[in-house]
Structure 1
Amino acid sequence: MSETTPSTRDDTVYLYDFRRPTALAREHSRVLELAFETFARQWGTQLTANVRVFSQVECDRVSVHTYDEYAASLPSTTAMVLCQIGDIIPKGVIQFPTGAALSWVNSMLGGTREVGETDRTFTPLEAALVRKIMDDAIEDLRYSMGPLLPESITVDGIQYNSQFAQAAATSELMIVAAFSIRIGDVNTKATLALPATVILPKLGEANPTLPAGDAPALLTVQLAQTPVDVSARFTPVPVRPGVILRLQVGDVLPIPHPVHRPLDIAVGDHVVGAAAIGASGSRLAVSVINPEDQK
């Protein structure tokens, strides 16, 4: 008996609140996933250029939470880059561990040793370098979101306490994307939260959902545009396997199809009409006819 290969699938369990089901339609979720996956690739490229170490960013999931739920899920001490989006009051948030940011700065400055102290605020120089990384990330975000994020977005400041950072009202819905960042041999997690009031209206315009009552008409239109194989065929002739096995070049199989009878127009095994043999230029063709006219 051969050994079984251990499963590599993600067995992480996420709590589901049945009192407040997911607010995003499946089509809208897919649009957001594609946008955030594009952002992850762009951000990884920018981190590689800034930190000078090969970096890779992957989008793990996209979900909707209130700001209070989002803030409660974060570590008490972490780097939260608040982003001003146009003139609206709720802000966007890019969150990552302070230790990860300090290792980025260490690499940018040519350091090779591991960063010792992690849970602390940034010095002015460190904050300036982190802000430079975030400015590049925001440019990637605007490119990736396209029409979903038409408003200008800029870095407003950096907070270090997830419970005291006032990015939005506690009940404000936020679209939260979780990312896995790998820089060299170091793995870390990051999140991006954007106010749903900014994204959802544009999301409906980019990929509008249709009412369920339109399903029959849409199905009819889709079926009418689906290509199918159509054949014009003679009356089939039953032949025994022994005859087929003895067939040779030059043999004749008589077809029990009267000369005056039109051909059958068939789609699969279903006869849908009748046709007479004709020509279209140099090609053989059939002309659809009324079979009653041939009687």
Structure 2
Amino acid sequence: MPVLSPASALPESRASQVLEVYDFRRPTTLAREHSRVLELAFETFARQWGTQLTTKIRSASTVITDQVTMASYDEYAASLPATTAMVLFSLDGKESKGVIQFPVEAALVWVTRMLGGSTTAPVPDRKFTQIEHALVQRLMEEALEDLRYSFGSLLVEAPAVDGIHFNSQFAQAAATNTLMIVAGFTVRMSERSWRATIALPAEVLVQQLGSSNPLSDTAAAPAQLRAQLGGVPVDVALALTPVPVTPDTILNLAVGDVLNLPHPTSRPFDLTVGGKPIACAIGVTRGSRKAGQIVTTEETNP
């Protein structure tokens, strides 16, 4: 007789899995296949960008991808510092623009290193001078070339720098409800590190993702749903036939009282899931624990 173990039914890796809250008010999300393609593209860009920074500023730099998410432009802008460098760039002639965002301090450190200066002194929080603006723009133009290379066929045309802004609330790259693909990065240079982000209009990428990386056949959806539901943990119990009692009886229960149940001694227990009986089982002993041996099953309507 096979032994059903709770440990085997629910692996520890799944039991400790952190669940993410799903917002049904905005069901638009990235398919898993598409999300992985974008993660690989952004990881490739991070390596390219880190190499470019190392070459330009003559100091070892690394860029690490943190996460890739989808959010509205309003949510993305609200997550940024009030004062920050935002490089807006056009994509494939679309009205919505992409964004490369990084702290002003990081850009000023890069420029100082490019000009041979020292970065040990405190960096002021200010807008760029004309020379700094030109150097940062050139640096971003080369970064956009790396972005185009990393995304391959997902970006039909090369992105072009449209402008540099310093206020995240005033730099309107897209309409507030426009969905954006947002990637977070950690940029490290020596002992310094900064948080950077890239936001791309979802409309630019989703269509290309659908044609170059088609999703699974919709005809397979029922089988995939059944397979997914088959791994969802549920609570099962062996139950006696219930007996109706009054609240007065419950409130007056005391140690030693006997509550008669209408369950014959010859009848197996009910095996229930969520209070619904699905089978009958008899009580047995398995080692030092009690167990239930299935004797009959019954068909239930969903």
Q: TM-score, normalising length from structure 2?
A: 0.65
What corresponds to 2:288 in structure 1? none
Identify which of 50, 59, 63 aligns with 2:56: 50
What corresponds to 1:3 in structure 2? none
Residue 166 (1) aligns with residue 191 (2): no
Aligned residue identity for 1:26: R
Q: CA RMSD in A?
A: 2.2
Distance 1:52 1:207 in 2: 38
Q: Compared with structure 1, are the counterparts of its residues 91 and 14 closer, same or farther at alpha carbon in structure 2 (3 Å cutoff)?
A: farther
For residues 1-295 of structure 1, the aligned pairs below 5 Å read: 17-21=23-27, 23-214=29-220
Distance 1:214 1:201 in 2: 22
Distance 1:13 1:133 in 2: 40
* 1:81-132 residue CA offsets vs partner (Å, 9 max, x unmatched): 0001131100000000000110111111111233534321100011111111
8 Å CA contact retained: 1:98, 1:120 = yes
Identity of aligned residues (%): 59
Q: Give the greater-gyration-radius structure (CA).
A: 1
SS at match of 2:125: coil
Distance 1:104 1:15 in 2: 39
8 Å CA contact retained: 2:39, 2:68 = yes
What corresponds to 1:288 in structure 2? none
Distance 2:99 2:25 in 1: 26
Query: More deviation in 115-124 or 35-44?
Result: 115-124
Distance 1:14 1:129 in 2: 42
8 Å CA contact retained: 2:145, 2:158 = no
> How many residue pairs align between the two structures?
207
Distance 1:14 1:161 in 2: 31
Aligned residue identity for 1:188: W
Runs of 4+ more than 6 Å apart: 12-15, 215-218
Give 1:207 deviation, angstroms.
1.0
Distance 2:145 2:47 in 1: 13
What corresponds to 1:284 in structure 2? none
Q: TM-score, normalising length from structure 1?
A: 0.66
Q: Compared with structure 1, are the counterparts of its residues 214 and 18 closer, same or farther at alpha carbon in structure 2 (3 Å cutoff)?
A: closer
Distance 1:38 1:15 in 2: 29
8 Å CA contact retained: 2:88, 2:161 = yes
* 1:240-264 residue CA offsets vs partner (Å, 9 max, x unmatched): xxxxxxxxxxxxxxxxxxxxxxxxx
Aligned residue identity for 2:169: Q
Q: Compared with structure 1, are the counterparts of its residues 181 and 22 closer, same or farther at alpha carbon in structure 2 (3 Å cutoff)?
A: farther
Distance 1:214 1:15 in 2: 26
Structure 2, unmatched stretches of 5+, are 1-17, 225-302
Q: Compared with structure 1, are the counterparts of its residues 162 and 13 closer, same or farther at alpha carbon in structure 2 (3 Å cutoff)?
A: farther
Aligned residue identity for 1:109: L
Give 1:141 deviation, angstroms.
0.2
